[in-house]
Amino acid sequence: MAAVHSRAESYEQKLADGRTALAAHQPERASRSFREAANLRSEAVEPLLLLAEAYRVAGNEGPAILALKEAEAIAPGEDPAIQKQMAELYRRGGHIEQAITTLVALRDRQQLTDPELLSLARLQARQGSLEAAFKSLEPIQKERPDDPDAKVVEAEILLLKGDELLAARLMDRLITDNPGLMEARMLRVRYFLNSGFVAEAEQDLMSLAEEDAVRPEVILLRARILNRLERPAEADTVLTQLVAAEPTSVEALSMLAETKLLLGQNKEAQALVEKVLRLRSRYPRALYVRARALEAQGDKAGAVENYSYALSSDPRFAPALSRMWRIHRDAGRKMDAMTSLEQIHFIGEASIEEKVALAQMYAESKIHLERGRKLIDEALAREPGNPDYVSIKAALTDAMPKKKKSKGPIILRGGR
């Protein structure tokens, strides 16, 4: 009995040590403690779930998934807690289809909360599965047709579908009816930013409530806007403050590295990139910043390699896609350039310049002509007299199959 009691105490101590290490941002130490706890009680699921979390924090998605599979083998029957963690790891590792498949199974068993349903709908929409995204929204909208959070996701789906007018009206109505609905305003800010209305994006962001304006995701979006407005010194100030408050935030550190690069402070940028990659070995924005630095130095091969690493970590990482389509185009790889542009477009991150480039490629290749017309019409709505846009639209129209004109009734002779 004494041996059993001692073993139980050791198990609890290992769990406590692991939790303490995790709270202190020491995931490697935490993972060792959780593994030792799992070895002490091979039938227990909890240390394996915590082990997966420690690996996730360290950026080691592969071992994290293996730990969850180990837990799944102990507790068969598709435990929703394990499945949700698995889906999150798939998502963070860039395995979006596996994440969606896991979440859809949970949705069909009615094991997702409303926020989880909204997250699933967003993932599906950004993968181009728009009807599936609407299906995931149905349980919420049937119960609460005017649920504002669901309406924000609906607006995002409409944007991805290309129904910008409907989406804009819905966003405006949501913000008018719910001035404090931060998600709706953030969606509109990102829409303005991606559409080239950067000053409007800044103005909209500045109207957030004071308590929302200091949230990390808002500060990061503000820094992105300031960099687009060619005011990196201001971005540097707000990001430095954010990093001081959250020294292990890989997103803040990576954005600060990008800003340092814009300021010409290459050594500082590289040091920040290395710090991020020690925290998360495959973090896409850090790899992207490294690639930008290499590209600026004329090392195109090294840049392409690091853009590719970023995209292997997150195939939907828009900044890397935005650089890669240009590299493909300049190298004469038109189909690769088109594929990258399509990916940016389908996740709702394409600029007007990129939409026009994609429409031109469709015109030259004589494919997806209707989609190309829609893209160029959007550009023409901004600049009705732009001769390049007019020329692309004419090329798309000429490439479309012509409808045969009827020559009147055909009289069949000699038939029965």
CATH fold for domain 1-108: 1.25.40
Q: Give the closest residue to 383 by CA, choosing from 357, 363, 356, 361.
A: 356
Q: Is the pLDDT of residue 413 over 80?
A: no
| Length of the chain counted residue by residue | 416
Distance CA 304, CA 170 (A): 40
Structure tokens belonging to residue 83: 């499945």
Do the two domains 1-108 and 113-209 of this chain adopt the same fold?
yes
Is residue 83 very low, low, confident or very high in pLDDT (cuts 50, 70, 90)? confident
User: What was the pLDDT predicted at 412?
Assistant: 47
- The string of pLDDT tens digits covering residues 29-61 is 999 999 999 999 888 888 888 898 888 887 787
Q: What is the pLDDT of residue 236?
A: 98
Check pLDDT > 60 for residue 408: no
R_g of the chain computed on alpha carbons: 25
Arithmetic mean of pLDDT, 94-115: 90
In 3D, which of 306, 232, 230, 238 has the Cα closest to residue 265? 232
Three state DSSP letters for 252-305: HHHHHHHHHHHCCCHHHHHHHHHHHHHHCCCCHHHHHHHHHHHHHCCCHHHHHH
pLDDT over 80 (residue 5)? no
pLDDT digits (tens, 9 = 90+) for 54-71: 888 877 878 888 888 888
pLDDT at 411 over 70: no
Model confidence pLDDT, tens digit, residues 362-406: 999 999 999 999 999 989 988 998 999 999 999 999 999 876 655
Query: Could you state, in order of their start, the residue ranges of all structural domains in the chain?
Result: 1-108, 113-209
Mean pLDDT, the chain, integer: 89
pLDDT digits (tens, 9 = 90+) for 244-260: 999 988 999 999 999 99
> d(Cα 26, Cα 21) in Å, to the nearest integer?
5
H and E: helices and strands count for the chain: 24, 0
What CATH number does the domain located at 113-209 have?
1.25.40.10
Residue 385: how many other CB atoms lie within 10 Å: 7
pLDDT digits (tens, 9 = 90+) for 140-170: 999 999 999 999 999 999 988 878 889 999 9
Q: What was the pLDDT predicted at 214? A: 92
Task: Kindly tell me if the per-residue pLDDT of 416 is higher than 50.
Answer: no
CA dist., res. 413 & res. 401, Å (int)? 31
